[in-house]
Structure formats: structure tokens, C-alpha cells
Amino acid sequence: MRSVWRRLTIAWLTIMATYRNFKRPFRLTFNGAPFGYEQLVQLIRTFREAFPDLHLTIEEQMVASHHVITRGTFRGTHHGAWFGVAPTGKRVTWPAIAIDRIAQGKVVEMWHVADVLGVLHQLGTVPSDLVIQEEDAG
């Protein structure tokens, strides 16, 4: 499974999200609001257009009971509009954590967290005093 995740791309996520590997019906929430398959595909397209060279490196992955926990790092160059931010040409990096619950060979629940504030800071849209730098973390 680790080798599959190493080759993960946003295009692969789009294919995966066609229900083959997900329990039906497909239901998500995004910031507390219902978020369906069409919205997921649009979100993936938005990332793909904004960061056409987006790459995910799996730093660590483990299985615990019926859960797959993945810690990774996304890297990409900002070449398209992203959540209202015009293209900057800046290379950005952000960490992400994913916890997926598996039942009968399908993903039945997902919890994914990424450092979007850190990306916005790297793009120059968030003041430095709002972001905790690694050396400041204690």
C-alpha cells in the first residue's frame, strides 16, 4: 500500500473518488457543510489548476485496527488562482495528515487535515505574526 501512496497524485484521487473504493452513499463535510462527490472533484480540479506540479511525499504510514494513518508533505508551484489568490509562481510546501477508516475493503470515513494557513503565508497573503514558525513552537 505504501508504494501506491507514494505515487499518489490528484488525478489518482479523482479516479478513486468514483465510488469504487468508497462506501455508498458518498458523503463528506467540508468546514461543517455537506460536501458531495461533485464538490470533491471540483476541489481536486482547483488544486490541480493552481498547483499543476503538485506532488505528495508519504513521510509515514501505519495501520491501526481498521484505520490507515498517513502523514505526508505536499509540494507544488503556484501557477493558477487558488481560493482568490492570483498566481504567484512561488513554490510551497505543506504537511498533511489523513486518517481513513476501512470496512469490508472500502473507505467508510475520512479525516484529512492540511496546513492551508501555512500555504497562504508562503504565498504572501497572511502576515507573519499570525503564523507560528517552527522555531517558535515549543
- The reported pLDDT for the residue numbered 5 is 39
116: its cell numbers? 492551508
Q: Give all domains of the chain, ordered by start, each with its CATH number.
A: 2-128 (3.10.450.50)
* φ and ψ of 70, to 5 deg: -130, 130
Question: Residues 23, 37: contact at Cβ < 8 Å?
Answer: no
With cell 505528495, the residue in question is 56
Each residue's pLDDT, cut to its tens digit, for the chain (138 residues) gives 444 433 444 444 544 554 455 555 556 666 667 777 677 778 778 888 999 999 889 999 999 889 999 999 999 999 999 988 999 999 999 999 988 888 887 777 778 888 888 899 999 998 777 666 665 554
